[in-house]
Structure 1
Amino acid sequence: MTHDTQRGLVSIGELAELTGVPVRTIRFYCDNEVLDFARSSGGHRMFDGAHAADRLLLVRRLRALGMGLTMIRAVLTGERSLAEAVAAERAAVDIELDALSWRRASLRAIEDANPAQRAARLELLTAVQDGAAAHDTLVAFWRRVLGPVPAEMFEGFLEMNVPDRLRDPTPEQVLGYAELVRLVTDQQFRIVVAQQLWRSDRYTLCDRAGLIAGAGEACGMAETLIDSGVEPTAGAALDRYVAAHAAARNIRDTPEFRIKLSHGRYDADPRAQRYWQRTAEIMGTTTTAGAGQRWLFQALDRTVRRSTSDRMPLA
C-alpha cells in the first residue's frame, strides 16, 4: 500500500483499515459514484482520507436506514437535503407497510372463510393487488362517470363518496373494497351509475358541474331526512334535486319534466345498492350519497305517481 503523504491521500486498503469498510464495498461505492477518488500514477484508487471516511460513515448510516444509492447520491451532491431524503424514505416505507397490511388482511379473510366461501374469496381478493391500486381503480371509475368537472369539485366528490386508502384494514374491509373494485370494472355497472346520476338522455346537459353541485346539495338534505327517519316524500330536498336537473338542461321545472325525470330503469338495480352499502360499511357511516339519491328517486317516483293518479279522469 502506498500512502501519498504530500497530497494527504490514502489507498483503498488504508481507507478500509481506517473505516472498517471492506475493500470490495468501497470499490462498489466508487463504481456507483457514491465515493470520490483519484488515480495514482500507477492507476490505483486514492482517497482523501478524512473526507472519504466521513462520507463512508454517512453512506453506511443511510444504507442502514434502507436508503437506496440513487437517493444517497442526491444527498451527497446536495440535490436533496438529508431531511427531504429521510421523509421520502419514510413515505416509501409507509407504502410498503400499507401493501403488507392489505396482504395480511386478504390472507386472513381467506383463512377465516368456511370451505364453501374460500374459493370465491380467493378469486375476489387475488384480482386486487393492493389498497393503493384498489383506490386508484375507484377514482378512475368516477373520473370516467363524472367527465370533465373542476378539480376541486371532483376531489370533494371523492372525499364524500369514495373510501380512502385503508390503513391497517380488517379482513371485512378488504373484502368490501375488493367487491367495489369488481363492481366498477363491470362495464354495465358504469351505465347503471351514469343513468342514475344524469337521468334521462333525452335532454342535453348544458351544465354537468352545476348538476353535480345541486344534486349533491339535495342528497345532503335527503341524508338529514334519512337520519331523522323521514320517508321519501315531496319537499325542499326533492325540489332542489329537480331544480338542479332542470337548470342543467336550461328548461323549467314542470309536472311533465318531473314525469320524464322519474323514468329510470336502473333506479332499483341491486348492483348500485350493493355498491353504496359496501361504501357505507367501509367508510363507517350510516348515510351516503347513494342513500340520498335513492331517497330522492323514491320521493320523485311517489309524487309523480300521486300527481298522475290525481289527474286521471273518473270512470
Structure 2
Amino acid sequence: MTENTRRDGLVSIGMLSQKTGVPVRTLRFYCDEGILQPHRSSGGHRLFDPVTTVDRVLLVRRLRGLGLSLTTIVGVLTDAVSITEAVAAERTALDTELGALRWRRASLVAVEDAPPMRRAARLALLATVHDRHTAYDGLVGFWRRVLAPLPSDMFDGFVGMNIPAPPTDPTPRQVVAYAELVTVTSDPAAAPAMSRQLWRPDPTGIHDKRELLTGVAEACAIAGPLVVGHVEPRPGAELDQFLAAHATARRERDTPRFRQRMLHGGNDTDPRIHRYWKLTTDITGETTAGAAHYWLYRALERATSPAAPVP
C-alpha cells in the first residue's frame, strides 16, 4: 500500500500538491512556518488530512494572491483576525502605497515640465515635500504657533477647514503649490505676520480668543459667497460682524477710532499672507478663509476712506 492510498485517509505531500496545485516545496515551507500541521508516518514522511488541509491550503493560496503577508494569514487561520478585517487592513495599506506613488509620479512630471534652466530649482523645491505627511505636519505646527493658546478642539476645527492635506491624486501643479506652501511657512517671519493679521493690534487686549475666532469665522462664512461671486468689497453685515467680533473680544465698542485701529494693525498687505492663501486655493480649488479675511479688510479700508473725524 502506497503513501498516497493509506487506509486512514491521510495523503502524502505529493498528493496534497496535486489536489491544490501548490508546489511541494511551498507546502514544506508552510509546514516549517507552522501554517500546516502534518502527521508523520512511521518512516517520518509528512501526511495530511485531505478534507481540512486542502481547504486550508487553498485559503492560504488565495490570501497570498491578494498580497496578504504570512503573518496576517496565520492570524486568519487562528481566528485572531477575520478575513474581512485582514482584507480591509491590506486595502488600507495599499491605498497608502498608491497615494505615495501618485504623489511621486506628479513630482516627476513637475520636474519634467519645468523649463531646463529651472529644473534644478524645481527639484530642490520638491525635495521639501518628499515626505508629504511630514510636510503636512509642518503646516499644522506653523498654525499651532500662530493660534496658541487656542483650545485643542477649536484648533482641530481650524485645521480641518484651513490647512490643506496633501491631495490623494495630485496634479503636478498641486505638488509644486504644496512645496511652495511649505516654503512660505518655513520663513521665520511668516508666523508673526499671519498672527498680526489674525489677532490685529494689541493681541494682549483680547479677553477671549475662542470667542473672537468664532465671530471672525462667522463673518468669513458670510463673506465667502461674495468672494466667489467676485463682489467688490463694501461695508455691510459681513464687515459689521467681523468688527463686532473683535470689539466684543476686547470688551470695546465698534467706534470710528476702533475701526482705524483695526485697519492699520493687521498687517493685511504682507505678501507672505497672500501667497499662503493663494497657494491654498491652488491646492484645494476652494475659496479660503484667508480670501474672505482679505475681502473684509478691503471692505474696512473702503468704510474708513475718506477717513471720518476720529472722536
Under TM normalisation by the shorter chain, which class is it?
Answer: 0.7 to 0.9
Whole-angstrom CA distance in 1 between matches of 2:216 and 2:27: 65
Show CA shifts across 1:144-163 (max 9, x none).
43344353x54543443233
The corresponding residue for 1:310 is 309
Match of residue 30 from structure 2: 29
SS at match of 2:25: helix
Return closer, same or farther for 1:283/1:231 CA change in 2, 3 Å cut-off. Answer: same
Give the secondary-structure state (helix, strand or coil) at the position aligned to 2:183: helix
CA distance in 2, matches of 1:253, 1:245: 9
Aligned position for 2:211: 210
TM-score normalised according to structure 1 size:
0.83
Does the aligned pair in 2 maintain the 1:3–1:10 contact within 8 Å? yes
Q: Which amino acid aligns with 1:296?
A: L
In the alignment, which residue of structure 2 is the partner of 1:271? 272
Name the residue aligned to 1:177.
178
After TM superposition, the score normalised by the length of structure 2 is 0.84
- In terms of mean alpha carbon deviation, does 36-45 or 47-56 score higher? 36-45
Supply the AA of the counterpart residue of 2:209. Answer: R
Native 8 Å contact 1:103 1:130 kept in 2 = no
Distance 1:87 1:107, change over 3 A: same
Q: Could you tell me how far apart the structure 1 residues matched to 2:55 and 2:141 are?
A: 48
Identical-residue share of aligned pairs (%): 53
State the secondary structure of the residue aligned to 1:310.
Answer: coil
Matched, 1:149 2:151: yes
Q: Does the C-alpha gap of structure 1 residues 194 and 28 become closer, same or farther in structure 2, counting only changes over 3 Å?
A: farther
Structure 2: tracts of 5 or more residues without a match: none
Q: Give, in whole Å, the separation in 2 of the partners of 1:58 and 1:50.
A: 13
**Residues 1:23 and 1:205: Cα distance change in structure 2 (over 3 Å):** farther
Query: For 1:241 and 1:162, how far apart are their aligned partners in 2?
Result: 22
Matches of 1:199 and 1:7, distance apart in 2: 87
2:232 is paired with a residue whose SS is coil
Q: Which residue matches 2:289?
A: 289
Q: Is the 8 A contact 2:220 2:289 kept in 1?
A: yes
Task: Please say if residues 234 and 299 of structure 1, whose CA atoms lie closer than 8 Å, have aligned partners that are also in contact.
Answer: yes
- Distance verdict in 2 for CA 1:78–1:271, change over 3 Å: same
Residue-by-residue CA offset, 1:249-301 (whole Å, 9 max, x unaligned): 3443344433333343632111111111111122223x321111112223334
Give 1:78's aligned amino acid. Answer: D
In the alignment, is the contact (CA less than 8 A) between 1:101 and 1:168 conserved in 2? yes
Instruction: Tell me the distance in 1 between the aligned counterparts of 2:95 and 2:63.
Output: 18
Structure 2 CA distance for partners of 1:51 and 1:271, relative to 1, 3 Å: same
Greater mean deviation of Cα atoms: 191-200 or 252-261: 252-261
Shift of 1:122: 0.4
Change in Cα spacing, 1:217 to 1:12, as seen in structure 2 (3 Å) is: same
SS at match of 1:176: helix
**Do 1:243 and 1:253's aligned partners in 2 also have CA atoms closer than 8 Å?**
yes
